[in-house]
Amino acid sequence: MMLVVKRILTYVVMGVGTAFFALPVLWLLSAPLDDTPTYAVRPPRTFSLDNFASIMDNRYAVASLVNSTILSLGTMVLVVSAAALAAYALSRARVPGRDALIYLLLLLSSVVTGTAAMVPIFLLIFQLGLIDSHFGVILVLTGGLLPAAIFLLKDFIDTIPPSFEESARVFGASPLQILRQIVVPVARPGLATIAVWTVVQVWGSFLTPFILLRDPDKQPAAVLVRTFYTEGGSPNLGLIAAFSLLYSIPVVLMYLLAWSRYGFRFHGGIKT
């Protein structure tokens, strides 16, 4: 008797849980394909791809995806190159207080974030005259992601035996040559992880570009998608749905890629 009750309870938990988590996402799958989408989740009445065509007609929509790409790739290049240099140095140099330094950086990056960092970041960028510039956003995002990237990459470089570099040094290679020709090829999986992680983080980030970019021509998809329904009265549901789906796909794909390669270790934020 107890057992039956327990089993039923378990199924109820799972059933309700599935519904709770699945319902909102179902809209993202059905509405883009619906000719006349509504707010409610339902199978498409008349199947059509017109919503995707309307993205092409909206000049801001296409531009915002380009902007998202610029921000993601720009931040990725900065984060990966800076983290590689710093992590290599920190992994090889014997300096007192090295671990403390890394922990301090991690601590700062998880404390000076989101809500708490909004005002100082805005002021900083404002005084540097970088409001409405992609470069400003890239700098801010790089700053936030770098400590975690250094931390993850240092762990990785620690596992590479220094003997490779020593033998290169014997043959007279310069430090930068060693880094470029020995360390980078060996550390490639680690660098790739950081690169994917950075792109995912920047692609989805909302707050930083939201407060730093005013010009709709420069806004990334995360910010622009709001204007499809806050401007001009009623929201354009078809456009929002199709655009959201298109915008979400890269993130899901990258997670799946990272997941199949590295398993569950791949988390969203600074999860140490």
Stretch that binds another protein, among 24-32, 48-56, 129-137, 181-189 (CB under 8 A): 24-32
Residue 271 makes contact with another protein by CB under 8 A: yes
Q: By CB under 8 A, what part of segment 70-109 binds another protein?
A: 82, 85-86, 88-90, 92-93, 95, 101, 103-105, 107-109
Tell the smallest beta-carbon distance from residue 211 to another protein (Å): 5
- CA torsion through residues 157, 160, 166, 167, sign: negative
Q: Which of 1, 4, 20, 172 binds another protein (CB under 8 A)?
A: 20
Q: Which residues contact 68 (CB under 8 A, 6 or more apart)?
A: 202, 203, 220, 221, 222, 247
Residue 36 makes contact with another protein by CB under 8 A: no
Q: Which of 71, 141, 240, 242 binds another protein (CB under 8 A)?
A: 240
Measuring CA to CA, which residue among 237, 245, 256, 206 is closest to residue 37?
237
Query: CA 173, CA 170: separation in Å to the nearest integer?
Result: 7
Residue 38 makes contact with another protein by CB under 8 A: yes
* Nearest CB to another protein, comparing residues 186 and 204: 204
Query: CA 147, CA 142: separation in Å to the nearest integer?
Result: 9
* Nearest CB to another protein, comparing residues 134 and 151: 151
Asked whether the beta carbons of 31 and 237 are under 8 A apart, the reply is yes
Stretch that binds another protein, among 35-43, 52-60, 129-137, 186-194 (CB under 8 A): 35-43
Half-sphere exposure of 65 (CA within 13 A, CB side): 15
What is the total count of residues that contact another protein (CB under 8 A)?
A: 79
Residue 207 makes contact with another protein by CB under 8 A: yes
* Nearest CB to another protein, comparing residues 48 and 110: 110
Q: By CB under 8 A, what part of segment 109-138 binds another protein?
A: 109-124
Stretch that binds another protein, among 72-80, 129-137, 183-191, 201-209 (CB under 8 A): 201-209
Residue owning tokens 């060996």: 186
Q: Which of 8, 25, 53, 66 binds another protein (CB under 8 A)?
A: 25
Tell the smallest beta-carbon distance from residue 142 to another protein (Å): 10
Measuring CA to CA, which residue among 220, 196, 252, 206 is closest to residue 66?
220
Q: Which residues contact 67 (CB under 8 A, 6 or more apart)?
A: 134, 218, 219, 220, 221
DSSP string, 14-30: HHHHHHHHHHHHHHHHH
Query: CA 68, CA 221: separation in Å to the nearest integer?
Result: 6
Tell the smallest beta-carbon distance from residue 184 to another protein (Å): 14
Q: Which two tokens stand for residue 214?
A: 């005013």
Residue 260 makes contact with another protein by CB under 8 A: no
Residue 44 makes contact with another protein by CB under 8 A: no
Residue owning tokens 């730093």: 212
Q: Which of 1, 4, 21, 215 binds another protein (CB under 8 A)?
A: 21
Q: By CB under 8 A, what part of segment 147-186 binds another protein?
A: 147, 150, 175
